[in-house]
Structure 1
């Protein structure tokens, strides 16, 4: 009888514990970005991920992001923002935007992650990055034209400016609506980071009345 009562109490408490766990707080689980940053997806609640291809945590987070993106509502937009703190990170940011510009992001995004985290390639030069693109079906001419173009360089500079404005200090980090910054450290885990994102998306919906 005691065991049955204990089980019943546990089942009754589970929803309450779940609600308590979902009580995400500003200043604890996420921070407010002041001033807010202009988003790049007008008319939608933008969710952005700050990442670096050489970051092992970003590599393991990537499949989770992929699954989460499949559940995005129509009023939510997503964009990746490559972080840059010197060294070859600017080259990696250029690789990201080059892949996007050439329409091969879905192919090259995971391949660059794999090259740096599994194959242990540093990709510390334009030549190394070019070889990876060519090995995955991109012509050397198309790569060279895009990689050094004014448009790609502008996007790289804008990404660096956005990260500074959001005060990003590590990867992966996420930003919602240009107003809120979430990290795995503040949220408690990568999985929780996505839960906080969902919470903040709902918060933005409530504000806009949509």
Structure 2
């Protein structure tokens, strides 16, 4: 009897796994990135978001993804990647990495989204962004030093290179482990992007034997 119960449970588990694997399909709900992109930390499963502070969809997605990040297991590393298509977007990408260098990202991410989406401030110059940082407790001298540093410049170049390699066409977009690209259009909405991301993270974990 015990063996029969184990057999039934095993069959149920196999059935459940098969159903989970069929929940989201490559090409339909997400795209496969080929060739795969090297992640920042190969020892973890990377979940990345391509975004722009001035994107209204990214602004609406931010509270959702902030809560989602809190649910991620320790083997998952989240990374934000600012998108750049010209105009002031490179300046905004520099602001993103500058905030991290100065360890002020918690308040400056919110301030940048607020300024561009609610207050309608275009932030088209370094000085305009410096004023925003100063209003949120960052000395202008510290801002300019970090904003024009080699480290920030390198991160901006890397972000642009990664976005090009992933062939993103809009924001927000998500990437899992450098292998899969998720868009709201294919996933079926912003909330569904996170569901597809969870599915692909589990897929990567299973592939790694985790």
Same fold (TM over 0.5): yes
Query: How far is the alpha carbon of 1:103 from its aligned partner?
Result: 0.4
Q: Which runs of 5+ in 1 are unaligned?
A: 1-15
Residues in 2 aligned to 1:185 and 1:124: alpha-carbon distance in whole angstroms: 29
The C-alpha deviation readout for 1:127-156, integer Å capped at 9, x for no partner, is 100000000000011001000111111110
Structure-2 residue corresponding to 1:70: 70
Structure-2 residue corresponding to 1:49: 49
Residues in 1 aligned to 2:112 and 2:23: alpha-carbon distance in whole angstroms: 36
Structure-2 residue corresponding to 1:31: 31
Residues in 2 aligned to 1:175 and 1:54: alpha-carbon distance in whole angstroms: 20
Query: How far is the alpha carbon of 1:23 from its aligned partner?
Result: 1.2
Q: Which runs of 5+ in 2 are unaligned?
A: 1-15
SS in 2 for 1:92: helix
SS in 1 for 2:63: helix
Query: How far is the alpha carbon of 1:42 from its aligned partner?
Result: 3.1
Residues in 2 aligned to 1:114 and 1:185: alpha-carbon distance in whole angstroms: 25
Please show how residues 160-199 of structure 1 align to structure 2 within 5 Å.
160-199=160-199
Query: How far is the alpha carbon of 1:43 from its aligned partner?
Result: 1.2
So what's the TM-score if we normalise by structure 2?
0.89
Instruction: Give me the CA root mean square deviation.
Output: 1.3
SS in 1 for 2:155: helix
Residues in 2 aligned to 1:94 and 1:176: alpha-carbon distance in whole angstroms: 23
* Number of aligned residues: 192
